[in-house]
Amino acid sequence: MGMGSGPIDGERVSNETREVIAEAERRIRERETPDPGGGNWAMRLNRAVFWWANHWVGVLNAIVLIYIGGATMAPALMALGRPGIARVFYALYAPFCHQYAFRSWFLFGERLAAAYPLQAPVSLVAMRELGAFVGSSEAGYKIALCQRDVAIYGAMLLTGLAYGPAKRRWTIEPLPLWQFYLFGMLPMLLDGGIQWLSYGLWQFVPGLLAQPFETAPALRALTGALFGIGIGIGVVAIGYPRLGTYFDETVATLQEKYGW
């Protein structure tokens, strides 16, 4: 009796196994195939994550490029005789930068690019008043970001653009934060910090300083570039490798799962 039931039991087990496999395949097809109403949000989300994981470096670089480009649109529009639209750009960037004319680059004047640093120190109130000056056809028109900010974001963009090709050729390991603080932040903090401290002492403690320290345009650009490279290195060489590892794993998982 027991001997004769063996094939029957084996056939039943085999049928159950096939049913389990068929049910698993059906569920996979349901998950991967959008429903008629287009409501397969899980699939859409996975595709969005897959796209972002493959293009995140380019997107971040584009954001920085647009930010810099918007700042240069202000002087370009002034030169084209569109002051109303230009002032919209100046207003948009005003919360993020002091826009002091004597610490900004001027474009589209008699020279392609020019700077007009202070010849004598002025009070903090006068600084705000000078910040309202946007330029003239002879002097050119100021960029909506100061010299240091232009250098910061320009260096960030160049560092970000270098990351893509570098990542394809080498394995980029995260750098320690102390290098960013020492080589990126410290020079700008010393340059800008000493400048503002000296202005505060000159303004509010009469007689202590003959005149405040006003850094030169080239020095502002240099320290800004170092800070921008520092941020770029901090983000690119510290943050990007970690993000890159995560997104590479995400891409591999989605490719294995969906065959993309």
Of 114, 145, 176, the position where a domain reaches its end is 145
User: Over the chain, what is the mean pLDDT?
Assistant: 76
pLDDT band at 37 (very low <50, low <70, confident <90, very high): very low
Of 107, 127, 145, the position where a domain reaches its end is 145
* Tokens linked to 231: 């941020």
Shared domain check, 246 and 160 = yes
Enumerate the H helices of the chain as residue ranges.
6-32, 41-79, 83-93, 124-131, 147-169, 177-179, 186-204, 217-233, 240-258
Shared domain check, 194 and 95 = no
**Residue listed under structure tokens 């980029």:** 172
pLDDT band at 14 (very low <50, low <70, confident <90, very high): low
pLDDT of residue 141 exceeding 90: yes
Mean pLDDT of 187-196: 73
- Name residue 35's amino acid: D
Kindly state whether residue 41 falls inside one of the protein's structural domains.
Answer: no
Shared domain check, 82 and 192 = no
- Name residue 158's amino acid: L
SS3 97: coil
Residue 69 belongs to domain spanning: 58-145
Question: What total number of domains does the chain contain?
Answer: 2
Shared domain check, 129 and 71 = yes
Kindly state whether residue 230 falls inside one of the protein's structural domains.
Answer: yes
pLDDT of residue 28 exceeding 70: no
Q: What is the distance between the alpha carbons of residues 235 and 161, in angstroms, rounded to a whole number? A: 12
Q: What is the distance between the alpha carbons of residues 18 and 1, in angstroms, rounded to a whole number? A: 27
Kindly state whether residue 107 falls inside one of the protein's structural domains.
Answer: yes
Shared domain check, 105 and 157 = no
Of 123, 145, 167, the position where a domain reaches its end is 145
pLDDT band at 218 (very low <50, low <70, confident <90, very high): confident
pLDDT of residue 175 exceeding 70: no
Mean pLDDT of 179-201: 74
CB 250 within 8 A of CB 49: yes
Mean pLDDT of 191-211: 77
CB neighbours of 145 closer than 8 A, spacing ≥ 6? 68, 71, 93, 96, 97, 99, 104, 153
Percent of the chain with pLDDT over 70: 69
Shared domain check, 154 and 141 = no
Mean pLDDT of 48-68: 84
Kindly state whether residue 23 falls inside one of the protein's structural domains.
Answer: no
SS3 2: coil
Shared domain check, 195 and 166 = yes
pLDDT of residue 1 exceeding 50: no
Instruction: Give the pTM.
Output: 0.64
Shared domain check, 133 and 65 = yes
